[in-house]
Amino acid sequence: MQEVKMKVDGMTCRSCVKSIEGSLEQIGVEGKVDFDEGTVHVQYDESKLQLNDIQEVIRSRGYEVTN
Ligand code: 9UX
């Protein structure tokens, strides 16, 4: 398992947390979003996914993500 914490910009209401965590769940990634901090902490299987795949999912929901 790989663990990475990234910065997320563009979350304007607290439901954005669920939006991001739900979209990550759909690709088999356990993600925990901290709204106040503006971060997402992810755990994923690096033999199945790359960090870029995870970032693309977050970006497709309209957020900025940087590591
Ligand atoms: Mo709130 Mo976030 O209405 O994608 S859910 S801004």
pLDDT of 2-24, one tens digit each? 999 999 999 999 999 999 999 99
Q: What is the rounded average pLDDT of the residues 37-58?
A: 97
Given a contact cutoff of 8 angstroms between Cβ atoms, the answer to whether 58 and 11 are in contact is no
Atom of ligand 1 nearest to the CA of 62: 4
From 67, 11, 14, 13, select the one nearest 41 (Cα to Cα). 67
Q: What is the rounded average pLDDT of the residues 34-50?
A: 97
Of 9, 13, 18, 60, which is best to mutate to test ligand 1, by the most ligand atoms within 8 angstroms of its C-beta?
13
d(C-alpha 55, C-alpha 31), whole Å: 12
Expressed as residue numbers, the domain containing 41 is 2-66
pLDDT at residue 14, as a whole number:
96
Domain count across the chain: 1
Whole-number average pLDDT of the chain? 97
Alpha carbon separation from 17 to 29, 45, 46, 48, 65 (Å, rounded): 14, 22, 23, 24, 13
We report the CATH number of the domain holding residue 42 as 3.30.70.100
Coil/strand/helix, residue 57: helix
- Whole-prediction pTM value? 0.94
Instruction: Give distance in angstroms: CA of 19 to centre of ligand 1.
Output: 8
pLDDT band at 57 (very low <50, low <70, confident <90, very high): very high
